[in-house]
Structure formats: structure tokens, C-alpha cells
Amino acid sequence: MNPVDTSATAAVMPDLWITMLKSGIMLCIVLAVLFIVLYWIKRILEGQSRFRGQGIIKQIASHHFAPKEKVVLLDVLGQKILVGITAHSINCLAKIEPEVDIHFAEPNEAKGFFKGLLKATTEKNSSN
């Protein structure tokens, strides 16, 4: 008699293929759901960005100083307002007159944009 029973190994092989097939199908389902959710999130975020900047309040520029501290330049009904935002408060730093010409700097001169804008605003306010 042969101590190795080949019928037992033959019975295990079809179960292994069925298990692998089920695992592959489940993997495909999970990946499909993941791609559908990511596509849905992308559509929602794109939809929100279309309406950004079309309301009464428009964000013109912002500069981050620390993780929860930044300065934001807003356009509210044609008036430019410079706002400081921290984790605990929002403060109006300056109101810029409509006749002040604001030009957007190229990326290489972007560092001096707020500095020049703030300097121009404070010079105008001190002369009045």
C-alpha cells in the first residue's frame, strides 16, 4: 500500500482555485468601488472650485506665515481688504482704496508682493 493518498490532494486543488477566484473577484470589486469613490470626490471638488470667486467675497491672494497663521487679500464688493487669520481670531489689517493698482507679480518676484502692497497702502494712509 501506498502511504500517500493522491485522492486527498486532488480534492484540495479545486478548492484552492475556487478560493483564489473568489479572492480575485473580491479584489476587483474593492478596487472598482475605490475608483468610483475617488471619481465622485474629484467631481465634487471640481464643482466647488467652479463657483469659487464668483460671489460677493473673492479671495485675491494669500500668504502663509505659520501652519495656522496667514494673511489674505479679499475683494468684497469692489473694496480690497487685507485680513490676518490665526487659529483663534480674524483681524482686518488694512482697507485698500479702490484706486490703488494691484498687479500680480511673476513667481520669481512673488516674495515682495505683500511687502510692496502693504508699503503702498501704509504710505497712502499716512499721507491722508
100-121 pLDDT tens trace:
666 655 555 555 677 777 777 7
Domain that holds residue 11: 1-52
Residue 23, pLDDT > 70, answer: yes
Residues 43 and 64 in one domain: no
User: Does residue 62 sit in the same domain as residue 122?
Assistant: yes
Average pLDDT of the chain, as a whole number: 78
Residues 19 and 70 in one domain: no
**Count of residues in the chain:** 128
Three-state secondary structure call for residue 49: helix
pLDDT of residue 58: 84
* Cα–Cα nearest to 123, from 105, 98, 97: 97
Number of domains within the chain: 2
- Of residues 11 and 65, more confidently modeled: 65
pLDDT of 51 over the 70 cut: no
